[in-house]
Amino acid sequence: MKICFLGCGIFQLELEKIIAEFEQEKLFDCEFSVVYLPLRVHVDLKKLQEKVVQALDTVQADRVIFMFGEKCHSLFDEFLRGYDLIRLPGSSCWEIFLGALLPDGQKRDPKTFYMTPSWLKKWREFFDPGWGVDEVAMRQAFAFYDNIVLVDTGICEYTDEDILEFFEHTQVPIEIETGDLTYFKNIIMEAVREALASEKNFVGRRPID
Q: Rounded CA gap, 29 and 101, in Å?
A: 32
Residue 29 identity: D
Q: Global pTM? A: 0.86
> Hey, how many other C-beta atoms are within 10 angstroms of the C-beta on 19?
18
Task: Tell me how far the alpha carbon of residue 190 is from its chain's centroid.
Answer: 16
Q: Where are the domains of the chain?
A: 2-197
Given this model, what pLDDT does residue 205 score? 43
Given this model, what pLDDT does residue 39 score? 85
Dihedral pair phi/psi, residue 36, rounded to 5°: -105, 140
Residue 209 identity: D
Burial class (CB in 10 A: 0-12, 13-18, 19+), 174: middle
**pLDDT by 10s per residue, the chain, length 209:** 999 999 999 999 999 999 999 999 999 999 999 999 988 887 788 999 999 999 999 999 999 999 999 989 989 999 999 899 999 999 888 899 988 776 666 788 889 999 899 989 888 887 665 545 567 767 777 889 999 999 999 999 999 999 999 998 889 999 999 989 999 999 999 999 999 998 544 444 443 33
Given this model, what pLDDT does residue 41 score? 83
Query: Of 59, 58, 57, 67, whose CA–CA distance to 18 is shortest?
Result: 67
The length of the chain in residues reads: 209
Query: Of 62, 104, 76, 106, whose CA–CA distance to 8 is shortest?
Result: 76
Cα torsion 92, 97, 101, 102 to 10°: value is -130
CB neighbour list of residue 176: distance below 8 Å, 6 or more residues apart = 149, 150, 152, 163
Given this model, what pLDDT does residue 128 score? 62
Given this model, what pLDDT does residue 197 score? 92
Q: Rounded CA gap, 205 and 81, in Å?
A: 9
Q: Rounded CA gap, 85 and 205, in Å?
A: 10
N-terminal to C-terminal alpha carbon distance within the chain:
27
Q: Rounded CA gap, 195 and 38, in Å?
A: 25
